[in-house]
Amino acid sequence: MKNLTIQPINWKKPKGYANGILTENGCLFIGGQIGWNTDQIFETHTFIGQMEQALINIVEIVKTAGGGVNDIVRLTWYIKDKTEYMNNQKAIGQTYKKILGDHYPAMSMIVVKDLIEEQAILEIEATALI
């Protein structure tokens, strides 16, 4: 098996990148997911709303590749506003648990000046072993 591009059904195709690449050994690399829906439209402009959508997107890519939430081994978060993150810890925790339950992979969080998509508040990359 060669590397396989993972594209959830009914998702608008990305331009110039893949949502996910599954390797021969079952390592799934998920490109940075932002808070837009399957049609690449932002339905929310809040940190919590975009975080929830980005995590939903990640889980959908993992499921499309044949895995589940517990197969996610790494999350790298890129956020634009540290203060907003720090001030919303409870809601962040509740939203995280709603999508990923009690599964906590290795994580990093990086504060960045900006993201390519102007409306994006955060972006999350993931790795899963399936």
If one counts the domains in the chain, the total is 1
Quick check: 1 pLDDT over 90? no
Quick check: 122 pLDDT over 90? yes
Q: Is 59 exposed, middle or buried (0-12, 13-18, 19+ CB in 10 A)?
A: buried
Sheet-wide strand order for 4-6: 4-6, 20-22, 27-33, 122-129, 72-79, 106-111
Q: pLDDT of 18-71, one tens digit each?
A: 999 999 999 999 999 999 999 999 999 999 999 999 999 999 999 999 999 999
Q: Output the average pLDDT for the chain.
A: 98
Q: pLDDT of 72-102, one tens digit each?
A: 999 999 999 999 999 999 999 999 999 999 9
Residue with tokens 């590397």: 3
**Residue 124 parent element (H or E):** strand 122-129
Query: 122, 11, 1, 123: which is closest to 64 by C-alpha?
Result: 11
The phi, psi pair for 28, rounded to 5°, reads -105, 120
* pTM for the whole structure: 0.97
Identify the CATH number of the domain in which residue 106 sits. Answer: 3.30.1330.40
Note down the domain range covering 70: 4-129
Distance of CA 62 to the CA centre of its chain: 10
- Please answer whether residues 77 and 110 qualify as being in contact, where contact means their C-beta atoms are separated by less than 8 angstroms: yes
The phi, psi pair for 77, rounded to 5°, reads -100, 135
